[in-house]
Amino acid sequence: MKRNLLKITALAFAVSVVVSGCGSGSNSTLGEAPVILSKLNADRKRLVEETRNSRDYDGIRSKMQEFKDYEKECFERAAEEGPKAVGNDVDFSGDPYEAFKVKEAKVDEYVKLFNAGYYNIRVKVEAKKDFVVRQNKSECAAGEEALTDAPLHYVALTSDGTPIIFGHLNPFRTNDSGKLEADYQPGQTVKAGELCSEKGGIITFDIYNNDFSKFAELKFLSQEEYDNMRNEFYSGK
């Protein structure tokens, strides 16, 4: 029993170190929230490994309660720190599109959920040439673009080039759910140099289910580049 108490005390000490030390490893773009949640998930995995083969059920229950308290504190800290990153510029690279050019990316908001939250990144995209917009891709003639399509392919990368998430961006959609909200109507022309939307399209960074603690940049890719990188990444897992 004494040994179990020592283990519990050690876990509590480790918890206090993690929580107090979150600020020292903050991400320059996204702040401390992704680092807090990354450490939380790593500690959860360690706890699972520690208790996997244990038959000390009282000790396990005690550790789990300690961890629940720690988890709650981490969620509260993330909720406090998340909004501090709003307004930060997001680095990006890549210019592979004939009709579109990414002009700006910023952290737009931190959305708090029951178990942490996520960032919405606003990406402003400029037309490289004049083109007419239609509602759906099936209605588009050659050189036209669809308001409901998401033709910009991206990957979020760490500083060493490791992919975090892959996705597609609709440069016209200004909302992230429900009915399409866009600045243009079907049949209108977007002129070269104009923004596809004044507010910008939305990319979501789920920092609880994905480790964004070392996020460095968004990279925009052609369809071929996107498919190759994504296939290579997931085939190696």
Does the structure show a pLDDT above 80 at 237? no
β-strand pairing of 100-113 with 116-127:
antiparallel
Q: Strand order of the sheet with strand 100-113?
A: 100-113, 116-127, 201-206
Choice among 42-51, 55-64, 169-178 with the minimum mean pLDDT: 55-64
Q: Mark whether 107 and 191 lie in a shared domain.
A: yes
Residue 150 phi, psi (nearest 5):
-130, 80
In the chain, the number of structural domains is: 2
Q: Mark whether 96 and 55 lie in a shared domain.
A: no
Q: Mark whether 212 and 96 lie in a shared domain.
A: yes
Which pLDDT tens digit goes with each residue over 18-41?
A: 444 444 466 789 999 999 999 999
Radius of gyration of the chain (CA): 22
Q: Which of 60, 85, 110 is the last residue of a domain?
A: 85
pTM: 0.84
Q: Mark whether 105 and 196 lie in a shared domain.
A: yes
β-strand pairing of 92-93 with 215-221:
parallel
Which pLDDT tens digit goes with each residue over 74-100?
A: 999 999 999 999 999 999 999 999 999
Which residues, at least 6 apart from 122, have a Cβ–Cβ distance to it below 8 Å? Answer: 104, 105, 106, 108, 199, 200, 201, 202
Q: Which of 85, 110, 143 is the last residue of a domain?
A: 85
Which residues form the domain of 179? 92-235
pLDDT at position 95, please? Answer: 98
Q: Which amino acid is at 42?
A: A
Q: Mark whether 70 and 107 lie in a shared domain.
A: no
